[in-house]
Amino acid sequence: MNLSRYLLLTLAPLALSGFTPLASASTDDCQFNLSQPLLDYGLMNRAIRPDAAAERHLGERPISLTLSCAQPIDMSLFYRAMAATAERFHFAERGSYQVRIRDAVLDGQSVEIGLIAGAGQPPAETASNLIWRPEHGVVPVQAGVPVQGRSFSAQLELTAWVQEHGMQMRDAVTWEAFGVFDAIGAGRTRETTLRARFAPAACEPVLSNGGVVDFGTLSKKDLNADKDTRLPPRSLTLMVGCDAPASFALIMHDNRSGSATLNSEIDYGLGKDSRSNRIGRYSLSVDPANANADGFARLYRIDSSTAGSAWSTGSANPIPIGQTRYLAFTDNAGSNAGPVLIQNLSTTVTVDAVIAPTNSLDLSTAIELDGAGTIEIIYL
């Protein structure tokens, strides 16, 4: 719905005798231009090894701005965008960027730049190269005094950062931030857009033998009638390959949910017999002593019950893969800093299966163990 506002203006007759019109500069013929309204910081793969700092430098992007008018006017410029800090602007949820201005030229002469809190105010700071702070404007300055002119140009550098924990996303995402350059004296504005794209690491898990565990054929006499029967363990090799070193964890999904004879974080179902009796349960355990990755001399397992916000210290003890508790690896036994970046991992997983007492099962027909699960890679 469009809303319009109307203003009724009544002009009284004007006696022209002795009237001298005041000279004023028209802004109708002012031109305000940006060399690059869209600043693209490209695609960032979060699998790239992070810097030691708490934030990652996304790069610098240059812009040239020019403002020209037929008559001298106030050349003050303001940049309207959401502030992040005293010297940076907001870039999506966990990013920020900084605007630096330099190489200012007014009517063909190099000038300094003054940082002003409002139009017509004296500069709080003057330099040939300065940071354009949020909620401030800039103005050409000569001998410490703001000056008007017909033509003004300057070079800008927009530098962007993202907090390292801001790279923790599972899906591809595009960040955009918007700002407006406002030439208040010329009555002209120009919009600018900052864009950055982030892609998660691409890791693929593979199990040996196609992920099939065969316990062979069992007879009734091999099983206990009144208590659980634990079958001999079976082993598979789990390999995880990533397109670059990545931080990840493992969890397990039960594809036969509700059929395990024990309801726990680490037990998965073996299906049900013809009378819907639960056949048993199984678990998958990882022994870090059998884990190898890239050039690490030794790996230790760590786990997190808080979706990766806090981690246990590295341990050499085996651990089952849980349904919600993250399992990952570090190369430091005493560290609780979280997983180390890994590109290629190989480890042994041990499958331990338990059959329910036979007196709780329908053995009138053959029973097939029908366990099935999915190992998921969680990108951190």
Q: Is 168 exposed, middle or buried (0-12, 13-18, 19+ CB in 10 A)?
A: middle
CA pair distance 215, 303, nearest whole angstrom = 29
User: How far is residue 235 CA from its own chain's centroid?
Assistant: 37
pLDDT digits (tens, 9 = 90+) for 262-297: 999 999 999 999 999 999 999 999 999 999 999 899
Q: Which two tokens stand for residue 126?
A: 């003057």
CA pair distance 160, 204, nearest whole angstrom = 31
Q: Which two tokens stand for residue 277?
A: 């009796």
Helix, strand, or coil (residue 267): coil
Angle at 197 between CA 32 and CA 306, to 5 degrees: 135
pLDDT digits (tens, 9 = 90+) for 53-67: 678 889 999 999 999
Give the mean pLDDT of 143-160: 96
pLDDT of residue 17: 30
C-beta neighbour count of 208 within 10 angstroms: 14
- The answer to whether the predicted template modeling score (pTM) of the entire model surpasses 0.75 is no
Q: Which two tokens stand for residue 210?
A: 């196609």
pLDDT at 92 over 80: yes
Share of the chain above pLDDT 70, in %: 88
pLDDT of residue 27: 62
Helix, strand, or coil (residue 94): coil
CA pair distance 280, 268, nearest whole angstrom = 9
pLDDT at 312 over 90: yes
pLDDT digits (tens, 9 = 90+) for 164-223: 665 555 667 889 999 999 999 999 999 999 999 887 778 889 999 999 999 988 888 899
Q: How confident is the model at residue 2 (pLDDT cuts 50, 70, 90)?
A: very low
Residues forming a β-bridge with 127:
113
pLDDT of residue 235: 95
pLDDT of residue 203: 87
C-beta neighbour count of 243 within 10 angstroms: 13
Q: How confident is the model at residue 4 (pLDDT cuts 50, 70, 90)?
A: very low
HSE of 152 in the Cβ direction (CA atoms, 13 Å)?
29
Give the mean pLDDT of 317-341: 94
Closest CA to 43 of 134, 157, 136, 162: 162
CA pair distance 253, 159, nearest whole angstrom = 43
pLDDT of residue 124: 93
HSE of 237 in the Cβ direction (CA atoms, 13 Å)?
9
pLDDT at 36 over 50: yes
Q: Which CATH class is domain 31-199?
A: mainly beta
User: What is the average pLDDT score of the chain?
Assistant: 88
Radius of gyration of the chain measured on its C-alpha atoms? 34
CATH 2.60.40 domain locations along the chain: 31-199, 203-379
Q: Which two tokens stand for residue 28?
A: 């109708």
Residues forming a β-bridge with 132:
99
Closest CA to 278 of 364, 360, 359, 374: 360
pLDDT digits (tens, 9 = 90+) for 210-263: 999 999 888 888 999 999 999 999 999 999 998 878 889 999 999 999 999 999
Closest CA to 103 of 66, 76, 135, 69: 66
Angle at 142 between CA 137 and CA 148, to 5 degrees: 65
DSSP per residue, 196-260: EEEE---EEEEEGGGG--------GGGS-SSS-EEPPPEEEEEEEEEEEEE-EEEEEEETTTT-B
CATH fold group of domain 203-379: Immunoglobulin-like (2.60.40)
pLDDT of residue 148: 96
177 φ, ψ (degrees, to nearest 5): -135, 145
pLDDT at 10 over 50: no
